Amino acid sequence: MRKSQKKQFDWKGGFEILEDRRVMSADPLSGFLENGIVHHSFDESMVHHDFAEEAMPIEHHLASEPDFWIDPSETLTLDEQLDQIEQTLSSAHNTTGLNEVLADYGFTGKGQTVAIIDSGIAYNHFALGGGLGANYRVVGGYDFTENDSDPHDDGPSGSHGTHVAGIVGGDAGSDRGVASGVDLVALRVFDDSGAGYMSWVESALQWVHQHRNDFENPITAVNLSLGIPGYNSSSFLTTSLDDEFAQLKADGIFISVSAGNDYASYKTPGLGNPASSPNVVPVMSVKDNGELAGYSQRHTSAIAAPGSSIRSTVPDYRGDNNGIDDDYAYYSGTSMASPYIAGASVLIRQAMEFVGYAEISQDTIYTHMRDTATEFLDAATNLTFKRINLEAAISALMPTDDYGSTLATAFNLGNLTSTVSQNGVIGTLNDIDYFKFTASSDGTVTFEADNMTHELAAAWSVSGSTGTVSGNQNESFSFDVVAGQNYTVGFSSSGGLGYYNLAATLESSFSYVDWGTISYAQLSDLTVDGESWYRVQASQAGYLTVESVFAAQGGQVNLMLYDANMQMVSSGNAAGGTSRVDVYASAGEEFYVCVQGTNDDVDYRLSNLVSVIGTTVNVTGTAGDDTFAFTAGGTHQITVNGVTHEFAAIAVTNVHFDGGAGADAIVMTGTSGVETATLRVGNTSLVGTGFEASAQSIENVVVNSGGGADVANLYDSAGDDTLVARPDSGRLFGSSFDHTVKNFKEVKVHATAGGYDVASFYDSAGDDVYVAWPDRVQMYGTGYNNTAWGFDRSTVQATAGGYDVASFYDSAGDDVYVAKSTNVTMYGEGYYHVVWGFDRSSVQATAGGYDVASFYDSAGDDVYVAKSTNVTMYGEGYYNVVWGFDRSTVQATAGGYDVASFYDSAGDDVYVAKSTNVTMYGEGYYNVVWGFDRSTVQATAGGYDVASFYDSAGDDTYVAKWNNVTMYGEGYYNVVWGFDRSTVQATAGGYDLASFYDSTGDDIYAAWSDRVQMYGAGYNNVAWGFERTIAQATAGGNDQADLYDSAGNDSIVARAWGAYLSGQGYNNETRGFEQITANMINGGVNTADVQAVDYIFNLVGQWN
């Protein structure tokens, strides 16, 4: 209940006139109507008033001199005022753009409360809610002049606070305030006589802080249209109120304070007090033309708002005093501009909250208010000031239109198949968000608006159908649709603005089986009986293919493919037991397959694995095992999992396969031109004229040459790998891959990644050549050339026919060569080569190291030829040659009659012949043979050559001639030619016989019981330990024989043919010598039997 008024005054609805004392900052209308009404001036004695005094009891306040007061004196009648000027709030709102804000956004400040610190509020005024309390606009307050909770704006000196309140939030037609939906709090700091104290103002500010959240809607702004007269500061001044101002500012509350009306007194920029506080927003007053009012104090930190001749609410006693609270009056001053800014701050805050600002402060609002304000030049000061522009301030904050606002610009939801969702905002009162779509099938579409915020109330429209609205908030809108038809739905608000989530759902009446999202699928043993429909969805952009496969005798099956608009995009007539439809689809695009016919056993292949970007075809695999194929030509043919696509070569330059997961396989085939294939683990390419096909993540790869001079490069893995190279193919495989190339002219294989890698080569039916180096192996023949690098081991099989030749080359280290009649092996550090079945092999040992060659005979007759530079062994079906080896050995153990031939070097050579083996060596070579039936040696190259023979355990025969020496026995036969010296040791056993033959020159034969020697020009043969020796001198020359006894009893027999000397264990015989001498020098009892000799015979010593 309002307090009963102490007095009633007979006011006719005029302007209040402020005395020349401490006053509020409302200036009389005469301030801008020239001299018709008296101007006010401020008491200079109050400029330095101490604001720190404590509030005193009300009695003291009544007895004390007030800080400011208001008192009516001269007034004008309402008609007199209207004759001079008239400005409703509505016209003021036109200048600030508020009317456009209301029309576009409908912001009224609802949800906030503004505190009016003034003379109170006549809360019974119909435009201010008609009462006091939680159910009214004026939700509460306090009277600091009377210390009670009834802040009514009482006379006789009131009405100022009510006028201010109407500017902030009055709600009545053209007199509507700035924020007509805001709640108000009245804090009365002027008593009935118009007197006020700063201590009351201080208490009121403290009250705002304490009660800011006590009401349904929080206090977000405070207005102070008051000040101390005679004050004009050009800089910020801190007063005792600043503690309260700073606290409210920290609370996020906007503090609007009138700048003051004393510009005419000072003629210089400045602000009144407390407008000069750094913690408040000072407000200047402008006239209807937007220029500063002559009375308004001004400063570049202030913001200007309408304040001259403002019509707003006043108490009944200031109006017609008829007992009805419906009165208005025109007031002027910065007191009228300040509440305008207070109301504007509420609207800006409301817009900021709408768009999601957090932690909104006075500075946030003030900065934005100034950033969007209208600048104007003040002629009085030649300074530029800023005037509130609410339309710009609000519009700058609000979101732009997110969806089309006309039927023509409707947002396209595309083909509606199930449910699609969008988030949006109704950002203006006239905003309509339009959404268009195409129905994929017959059925019912329902639009559902969910999570609507703020004042949003759903409103719907639809073109092309009639809809039904349902739900407590009209949030649902449903209508029937026809497949393939287009529809546009409009969504707007019948209330205010707000955000929303929108879902559009099609409930189809169309019956089909959903085959789901397709990358690749196979469906088997399905029955077709009439017409059936299936839905498919593309998993990626590319060709979507559906194939049916069936036995034609069981009935024909035809396929047709429709898009989501039920428009046919492909048809496939049955032919040869298949029917197929294709379409190039976008990712997620839906289609419907129509199957017509009759057949009880139909298989389907569904594929969406091939896409095209420019001139590149991309083929992707599934998570399972996939099979791919590529055939190059004038039309490139691509197959994936049995589904084939063809592309003109002129349109496609690149084809890329990606197997993905699973154990995948691909076959690539080139053209008749020249192409290059490169196969690496996980990455393969085939490059030809005008195209490149590549594959990745495919484990099993086969590349076919199309017939040109094609080259294939294969690369190993980091693990153990195997190469199988044939004239028509090369296969490299390991634990994670299997790569094959076929019919390439040249195949190059690289084993550089690691592991123990093995290569196997096979010959052709023609003549083949195999060349092996430590780091690589090459095999080639008619139409092929295979090379392998870096393999740890290589083997070759030459079984197909032709005359095949293998060539080996040594490393810089020590190498070993093992040659058999069936196979040849060569190995060294980091390599191991084996060949089987070659007709001929040759080895060059020139790189360095100590190299050894080992030969083995066959079961047939074999020939071994050893020279200082090379060694050859051959037999039936094989021929092995080594060059430059440091040592060679031969084993002849397999059978046959094996012959070894040795040749000396130009240097000194040594030949050692035993019954089991023969060795010949010299500078840089060493050759040994075992088990040969016969060995021959030719010493013709030069040097001093020596041959050494050793007997066997059986009976051996030694035949020594001047130009050759032969020794043979059971299982062996050794012959040397041209040696400078030969020696024989007969120590192993048996009855051994040595035969010597002279040369054509003069020869000497010397025989002892343990040895025999015969020598002449160019030869010297010595035999040891023979049981019998025979020397034949028949070739010519003057030959001489010297026979020497043993230490035992010896006997000499001389006849015409010759003589022999024998004794224990020996018998030395000479024939045809010109002179024979028997020498007894070793002892024993020696006898001589000499008969009819025709040569010189001499006995030396004691013979009986």
Closest C-alpha among 897, 1029, 1014 to residue 957? 1029
Task: Reduce the DSSP state of residue 51 to 3 states and report it.
Answer: coil
Contact 680, 644 (CB under 8 A): no
Q: What's the predicted TM-score (pTM) here? A: 0.55
Closest C-alpha among 319, 326, 228, 315 to residue 276? 228
pLDDT for 85 beyond 50 = no
For residue 1000, the model assigns a pLDDT of: 96
Closest C-alpha among 685, 664, 665, 663 to residue 676? 685
Summarize pLDDT for 732-751 with one digit per residue, the tens.
999 999 999 999 999 999 99
What percentage of the chain has pLDDT greater than the value 70? 92
Residues of the chain with CATH 3.40.50.200: 26-395
Contact 16, 159 (CB under 8 A): yes
For residue 564, the model assigns a pLDDT of: 83
Strand partners, 142: 187
How far is residue 795 from each of residues 818, 855, 1019, measured CA to CA in Å?
Answer: 14, 18, 50
Mean pLDDT value of segment 864-892: 93
Residues of the chain with CATH 2.60.120.380: 411-508, 513-609
At 850, the pLDDT band (50, 70, 90 cuts) reads very high
Summarize pLDDT for 468-487 with one digit per residue, the tens.
999 988 999 999 998 889 99
Contact 416, 463 (CB under 8 A): no
Beta strands in 939-1055 (DSSP E): 946-950, 956-960, 964-969, 972-977, 981-985, 993-997, 1004-1007, 1011-1016, 1019-1024, 1028-1032, 1040-1044, 1051-1055
Mean pLDDT value of segment 650-657: 96
Mean pLDDT value of segment 670-696: 96
pLDDT for 11 beyond 90 = no
Q: What is the rounded distance in angstroms from the CA atom of residue 454 to the CA atom of residue 970?
A: 123
- The one-letter amino acid at 66: P
pLDDT for 41 beyond 50 = no
Comparison of pLDDT for 87 and 259, the residue scoring more: 259
At 58, the pLDDT band (50, 70, 90 cuts) reads very low
Show the 3-state SS of 878-938.
EEEEEECCCEEEEECCCCCCCEEEEECCCCCCEEEECCCEEEEEECCEEEEEECCCEEEEE
pLDDT for 78 beyond 90 = no
Comparison of pLDDT for 233 and 863, the residue scoring more: 863
DSSP-derived letter for residue 382 is T
- The fold adopted by the segment(s) 411-508 is Jelly Rolls (2.60.120)
Q: What is the rounded distance in angstroms from the CA atom of residue 30 to the CA atom of residue 22?
A: 19
At 88, the pLDDT band (50, 70, 90 cuts) reads low
Task: Reduce the DSSP state of residue 194 to 3 states and report it.
Answer: coil
CATH superfamily of 26-395: Peptidase S8/S53 domain (3.40.50.200)
pLDDT for 28 beyond 70 = no
Contact 862, 823 (CB under 8 A): no
Q: For the beta carbon of residue 917, count every other beta carbon within 10 angstroms.
A: 20
- The one-letter amino acid at 620: T
pLDDT for 9 beyond 80 = no
pLDDT for 127 beyond 60 = yes
Q: Give the pairing type, strands 934-938 and 972-977.
A: parallel
Contact 235, 276 (CB under 8 A): yes
Summarize pLDDT for 804-841 with one digit per residue, the tens.
999 999 999 999 999 999 999 999 999 999 999 999 99
**Is 137 exposed, middle or buried, given 0-12, 13-18 or 19+ CB atoms closer than 10 A?**
buried
What is the residue-averaged pLDDT of the chain?
Answer: 89
Summarize pLDDT for 943-995 with one digit per residue, the tens.
999 999 999 999 999 999 999 999 999 989 999 999 999 999 999 999 999 99
| Enzyme catalytic residues | 118, 160, 335
Q: Which tokens in the block code for residue 56?
A: 């005193």
At 55, the pLDDT band (50, 70, 90 cuts) reads very low
What percentage of the chain has pLDDT greater than the value 90? 82
Summarize pLDDT for 1027-1076 with one digit per residue, the tens.
999 999 999 999 999 999 999 999 999 999 999 999 998 999 999 999 99
- The fold adopted by the segment(s) 513-609 is Jelly Rolls (2.60.120)
- The one-letter amino acid at 596: Q
Measured in degrees and rounded to the nearest 5, phi and psi for residue 441 equal: -160, 170
Measured in degrees and rounded to the nearest 5, phi and psi for residue 81 equal: -65, -45
